[in-house]
Structure 1
């Protein structure tokens, strides 16, 4: 997603403090994402001075598979999903990101293109930090590199957990593990995902997911609180299911 190729109709704000929820709260995007939370104040100021803010409507596609990776994409507010599409148009959801999370994988590789598409599940506000600005910040603050290495290790652990989850053959166990993982990463008490998105995330049929969630509900493990909204009631119970 090139910065000079922003979708038509999208609002763009350059710099810091332009209708930014984090700034109004006396914070910044940098303080709310793991990737930048440990940066020294001077490094944060360097990046914030060049950051660009964008706003998108629900359903907007902000990245197409094959687009060049030119910026770190920080979710200021809202939820986005990463996905791949098959030749017949079926979507396979890879991940869902929310407030304070960021897309940055592959930013420093030679072949910098997205291997997936990204669309908005809700109205979304983003903060874009160009690759060149990050590279300049690292050159000015070489001590920051170790923190980024630790962050990469954390992301690799997360990817390994996902692979292990998808390797679980029993649908009930796989879904329980997925709901536990999503519950840990949510910013609020509820999981906000449509049934189809959950199904594609865990590689199961929607009816299989629906049937098992209904069973979890009857067992008091989760509760459906609305369309596309799920509340985990018994984490230990779900853990027992995932490990059975």
Structure 2
């Protein structure tokens, strides 16, 4: 899933942004490593170069995932969230001061960053709303619908093929639920004929309209 819809790796590859790209340095992290915590004093901006990053809040033993960032997405370490390597990950890191200095001279990147931050803010509010007002089944249905509509492959029979590219554990983190709960819900959706598992992390949605009606019925 492309989180922001704008790939900053492509932007940083442009010749007119060479000065800005030079401000970033690479650093790699192994899967599941906590890259930054809310207590970290580093004031950095980073772009995901490889792998994926999970942004989440933690209160006691509960975790609430706000986003899974992909290559080309951007975030900052001063957002008071935990930042975790979802896979083996490489980041392009730069100090906020250095980035600000260069951005003042490169309006193209400034406009791009504003759009990215707007996407992130809108998505964060959407996820927080889902966590607050929807039960786990509703959140899962909404996620499947958005992913299928955005990244699914239409089939000749009218269905849609979807690849999560997430393990059940990772999906459960995204849903704010236990692995067992998400696994049970997926089995129930398959039993009801709303989805059909076709491989590891791969599903077919026979009827998108029916899946959407189920989501609307639950929301009512």
> Structure 2 length normalisation: TM-score?
0.73
1:241 to 200, 205, 214: 214
Alignment of 1:135-150 (within 5 A): 135-142=100-107, 144-150=109-115
Cα gap change, 1:143/1:75 in structure 2, threshold over 3 Å: closer, same or farther?
Answer: closer
In the other structure, the counterpart of 2:184 is 211
Task: State which drifts further: 199-208 or 182-191.
Answer: 182-191
Asked whether the equivalents of residues 83 and 95 of structure 1 are also in contact (C-alpha less than 8 Å), the reply is yes
In the alignment, the residues of structure 1 paired with residue 48 and residue 166 of structure 2 have an alpha-carbon distance, to the nearest angstrom, of 17
In the other structure, the counterpart of 2:50 is 77
Asked whether the equivalents of residues 47 and 129 of structure 1 are also in contact (C-alpha less than 8 Å), the reply is no
Asked whether the equivalents of residues 63 and 118 of structure 1 are also in contact (C-alpha less than 8 Å), the reply is yes
Cα gap change, 1:206/1:36 in structure 2, threshold over 3 Å: closer, same or farther?
Answer: closer
Secondary structure (helix, strand or coil) at the match of 2:57 reads: strand
2:32 to 33, 37, 59: 59
Asked whether the equivalents of residues 68 and 114 of structure 1 are also in contact (C-alpha less than 8 Å), the reply is no
Alignment of 1:119-198 (within 5 A): 119-142=84-107, 144-182=109-147, 190-198=163-171
User: Which runs of 5 or more residues in structure 2 are unaligned?
Assistant: 154-161
Shift of 1:42: 4.8
In the other structure, the counterpart of 1:223 is 197
User: Which runs of 5 or more residues in structure 1 are unaligned?
Assistant: 1-31, 108-112
Shift of 1:230: 4.3
Alignment of 1:81-96 (within 5 A): 81-87=54-60, 89-96=61-68
Shift of 1:222: 4.6
Cα gap change, 1:81/1:131 in structure 2, threshold over 3 Å: closer, same or farther?
Answer: same
In the alignment, the residues of structure 2 paired with residue 222 and residue 133 of structure 1 have an alpha-carbon distance, to the nearest angstrom, of 49
Shift of 1:50: 2.5
Shift of 1:171: 3.4
Asked whether the equivalents of residues 194 and 211 of structure 2 are also in contact (C-alpha less than 8 Å), the reply is no
Shift of 1:241: 2.4
Cα gap change, 1:43/1:232 in structure 2, threshold over 3 Å: closer, same or farther?
Answer: farther
State the number of aligned residues: 203
Cα gap change, 1:58/1:170 in structure 2, threshold over 3 Å: closer, same or farther?
Answer: closer
Secondary structure (helix, strand or coil) at the match of 1:160 reads: helix
In the other structure, the counterpart of 2:69 is 97
